[in-house]
């Protein structure tokens, strides 16, 4: 059976906020924070998914010409440096290839423009055209987004070349009607507030209201449409208990290991038709 070509797309600045590839303070001890990409590498190297998928490219949209992106990546940079911090261990290989060799920048440069600038629409179109070219170049079969801080539009419209082939791994439950639903960029922080009986209704002002306490969260692997984490769910896992005293990074670490990594594996297994036993976890 021929392996399907897998392309992974992420925003480095989102992984930087998670302290990916670094040790974090966790309940008075140090714990290593693996990224979903690093866990995917483990799955492909050591599990049955590697027989069905080959990782061909790792695309990031960060813009080295953006002062905001440079500030967010100050501790990491835009490429691995000898002795410098990076998002996964130096020398990491996937299926016999150096992971660093798969890194491909496709910067979303339109984000430099003000939100009301009329040139943003054409800039966004250009970005998606460049993404399309990169995916077409490697003949991608499966595309996984992880913390991509851009909402795709043209690439995921019905009838587009990669429609229903692009998936997202999200650190929250996205199903309609779920009392645990946490969509959007603030999903983990939203869950942490929920465990304290609060709901932020305006993230700019941090205005919040009282809500029933919800002390559990999870993760979802879902199709990408042009909404915010609104695509059809392929697999989700609700297995992360929340301590109201958690920091955001402590909760992130817990949710990665208990829900997101299993959801990533189960989602990809469904995509390629692999039957899993016990879900692989770090």
Q: pLDDT tens across 165-217, in order?
A: 999 999 999 999 999 999 999 999 999 999 999 999 999 999 999 999 999 99
> Rounded mean pLDDT of 219-235?
96
Q: What is the pTM of this model?
A: 0.95
Q: Candidates 3.40.50.170, 3.40.50.720, 3.40.1410.10, 3.30.1320.10; correct CATH number of 4-174+218-240+247-272?
A: 3.40.50.170
> Rounded mean pLDDT of 17-44?
97
Alpha helices in the chain (DSSP H): 12-17, 36-46, 67-72, 119-137, 187-195, 248-255, 261-272
> Rounded mean pLDDT of 101-111?
98
Average pLDDT, the chain: 96
Q: What percent of the chain has pLDDT over 90?
A: 96
Token pair listed for 130: 């460049």
Answer yes or no: is pLDDT of 281 > 50.
no
Distances (CA, A) of 157 to 92, 139, 153, 160, 271: 35, 19, 6, 5, 19
pLDDT-derived band at 273, boundaries 50, 70, 90 = very high
Q: In the 8-state DSSP scheme, what is residue 156?
A: G
DSSP SS3 for 170: strand
177's CB contacts (< 8 A; 6+ apart) are none
Answer yes or no: is pLDDT of 279 > 80.
no
Answer yes or no: is pLDDT of 120 > 80.
yes
Residue whose structure tokens are 């992984």: 15
Nearest CA to 161 out of 145, 177, 139 is that of 139
| Sheet with 166-170, edge to edge strand ranges | 103-105, 53-60, 4-10, 142-146, 166-170, 216-223, 233-241
> Rounded mean pLDDT of 5-30?
97
185's CB contacts (< 8 A; 6+ apart) are 149
């Amino acid at each position: 059976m021929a392996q399907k070509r897998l392309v992974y797309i992420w925003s480095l600045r989102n992984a930087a906020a998670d302290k990916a590839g670094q040790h974090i303070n966790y309940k008075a001890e140090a714990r290593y924070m693996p990224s979903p990409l690093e866990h995917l590498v483990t799955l492909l190297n050591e599990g049955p998914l590697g027989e069905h998928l080959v990782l061909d490219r790792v695309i990031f949209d960060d813009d080295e010409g953006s002062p905001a992106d440079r500030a967010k990546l100050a501790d990491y940079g835009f490429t691995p440096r000898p002795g410098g911090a990076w998002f996964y261990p130096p020398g990491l290989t996937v299926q016999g290839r150096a992971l660093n060799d798969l890194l491909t920048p496709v910067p979303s440069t339109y984000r430099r423009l003000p939100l009301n600038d009329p040139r943003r629409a054409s800039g966004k179109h250009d970005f998606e055209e460049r993404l399309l070219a990169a995916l077409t170049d490697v003949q991608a079969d499966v595309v996984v987004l992880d913390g991509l801080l851009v909402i795709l539009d043209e690439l995921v419209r019905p009838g587009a070349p990669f429609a229903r082939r692009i998936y997202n791994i999200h650190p929250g439950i996205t199903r309609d009607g779920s009392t645990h639903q946490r969509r959007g960029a603030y999903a983990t922080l939203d869950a942490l507030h929920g465990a304290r009986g609060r709901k932020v209704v305006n993230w700019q002002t941090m205005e919040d209201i009282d809500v029933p306490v919800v002390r559990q969260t999870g993760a979802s692997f879902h199709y990408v449409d042009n909404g915010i984490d609104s695509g059809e769910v392929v697999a989700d896992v609700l297995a992360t208990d929340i301590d109201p005293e958690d920091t955001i990074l402590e909760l992130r670490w817990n949710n990665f290991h208990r829900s997101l990594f299993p959801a990533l594996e189960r989602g990809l297994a469904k995509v390629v038709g692999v039957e899993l036993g016990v879900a692989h976890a770090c």
